[in-house]
Structure 1
């Protein structure tokens, strides 16, 4: 896209949006972000294919890029891959949110004995959303150490954005079945299914039919990049419309192998109407996170 900022300004103007809310963006400690980029550069097994990083810039440049794109609110998604890491990441994200206008205070967790304590402390400090990465963390959402954490998040009504689908490559604990069993035990838990559950779209939509506090983010879904390997089923278009109040925009910025505008244009190409796109790009997240 030759002029992404101009295209996105036109979208905001046409839809009468004060800004885009992107609930799936990554800001991390510099040394962690560089390790993530190195993993993508190596086309590691969790990516499954070459994955050039489009927005490989310093932190302040990335922040300016998002703001130039008209993003009014965003997250700093982090995720641990071992015990003892989550609390340290939460300290960093708390500081980042405090010094970064527009950032939704983000936290994370890992199945470990201290998790209930530091999850509670993060919420008390203002955390608005938790990132849970089943694939990278290589743990089951049904791990007994997470039971008190799920209960805390349900009781405090704080959403968890969970990467639990088996894309881009399956993990030992990915897939819809473990998530469904967690929600059967904690039906008040507010989960946001990252990447719309790629590639198990239909099964995760079935879960959302059963549990009305289940949401989705659009991260990478519908883009030409994702459609090549994991196309969203055309048979589910009606459910996209029906779930329109529970679908939130996500981009995976900066770790995307294409232009940011493609993530928005992919939504427009679905031809589900301006109201649907408006809700996904802003209204639904504004309501969920009380950003008005």
Structure 2
């Protein structure tokens, strides 16, 4: 669910951000798969990945529509990539989101932390309505990890869901570090899913350990948890993400659903 393919100029800036993460987060964040795009695609496919996303996100106005053009072209040339889109609170957002949905966008990426915006912003009200009516899911980085933002945390998303209870949201990183609060939202709203990106890995457990008492709820919500990796921007080998899930010892059926079945069902991928 959670992989990044971006225009080279944007990805280069993202990598520079992570290169400087030691100063911001207090520890190094090496990019394990810092390769050219064709090599990254081959690596991902060699891991056995059947489908993936090209998550992009704007950090300023007049950027989202350009990113959507790039991701549409990328998906057209990369059949195993889900057509991904994004948006930003700005005039015209409703128009280009409607155009992306009409063009076949299957998932939207929203990064509240990097974009530094409130998901309840007035320009986004019609956008959320479009997503709610269309059923196209949005993968939202809204938890306060690794560094809190001005609008991160469960409160803005809770209010958003009260306004749009049929939204299909995928909470990135299981909502790190507000795990319990986002599990509560998934329990209350059928359209709320969670992705496993970086959670339970040694890297994340060192700073934001998952509460052991919440593990039984992972079984209860097993059909709404989706595997994510953050490839290529991860500071450890891809396989460690899978090992981190396996050592939870929640069973083969749970693993199969999280790593394949749940996303295949959401996006009608032939199983």
Q: Same fold (TM over 0.5)?
A: yes
Which residue in the other structure is 2:154 paired with?
A: 176
| Residue 63 (structure 1) shift | 0.0
| Residue 219 (structure 1) shift | 0.2
Which residue in the other structure is 2:184 paired with?
A: 206
Equivalent of residue 52 in structure 2, options 49, 69, 74 = 74
8 Å CA contact retained: 2:22, 2:29: no
Which residue in the other structure is 2:21 paired with?
A: 43
Q: Which moved more, 1:36-45 or 1:103-112?
A: 36-45
Following the alignment from structure 1 to structure 2, what is the Cα–Cα distance between the partners of residues 168 and 43? 10
| Residue 124 (structure 1) shift | 0.7
Equivalent of residue 287 in structure 1, options 261, 265, 270 = 265
TM-score by length of 1: 0.91
What's the CA shift string for 1:214-241, capped at 9, x where partnerless?
0000000010110000001000011000
| Residue 26 (structure 1) shift | 0.2
| SS state at 2:206 partner | helix
| SS state at 1:116 partner | helix
Following the alignment from structure 2 to structure 1, what is the Cα–Cα distance between the partners of residues 255 and 59? 34
RMSD: 0.9
8 Å CA contact retained: 2:107, 2:136: yes
Equivalent of residue 188 in structure 1, options 166, 174, 180 = 166
Which residue in the other structure is 1:122 paired with?
A: 100
| Residue 101 (structure 1) shift | 2.2
Evaluate the alpha carbon distance shift between residue 48 and residue 214 of structure 1 in structure 2; reply closer, same or farther with a 3 A threshold.
farther
8 Å CA contact retained: 1:87, 1:109: yes
8 Å CA contact retained: 1:134, 1:162: yes
Which residue in the other structure is 2:38 paired with?
A: 60
Following the alignment from structure 1 to structure 2, what is the Cα–Cα distance between the partners of residues 133 and 33? 15
| Residue 44 (structure 1) shift | 6.4
Evaluate the alpha carbon distance shift between residue 44 and residue 131 of structure 1 in structure 2; reply closer, same or farther with a 3 A threshold.
farther
Equivalent of residue 112 in structure 2, options 134, 137, 145 = 134
Number of residue pairs aligned between Structure 1 and Structure 2: 270
Following the alignment from structure 1 to structure 2, what is the Cα–Cα distance between the partners of residues 118 and 263? 34
Following the alignment from structure 1 to structure 2, what is the Cα–Cα distance between the partners of residues 260 and 249? 12
8 Å CA contact retained: 1:48, 1:168: no
Evaluate the alpha carbon distance shift between residue 122 and residue 187 of structure 1 in structure 2; reply closer, same or farther with a 3 A threshold.
same
Gaps of 5+ in 1: 1-22
- Equivalent residues in 2 for 1:84-163 (5 A)? 84-163=62-141
TM-score by length of 2: 0.98
| SS state at 1:216 partner | strand
- Asked if 1:249 is matched to 2:221, the reply is no
| Residue 180 (structure 1) shift | 0.4
| Residue 46 (structure 1) shift | 6.1
| SS state at 2:15 partner | helix
Instruction: Specify which structure has the bigger relative contact order, considering alpha-carbon pairs within 8 angstroms and separated by 6 or more residues.
Output: 1
Which residue in the other structure is 2:217 paired with?
A: 239
Equivalent of residue 255 in structure 2, options 248, 262, 277 = 277
| Residue 45 (structure 1) shift | 6.6
| SS state at 1:26 partner | coil
| SS state at 2:194 partner | strand
What's the CA shift string for 1:8-42, capped at 9, x where partnerless?
xxxxxxxxxxxxxxx10000000110110011111
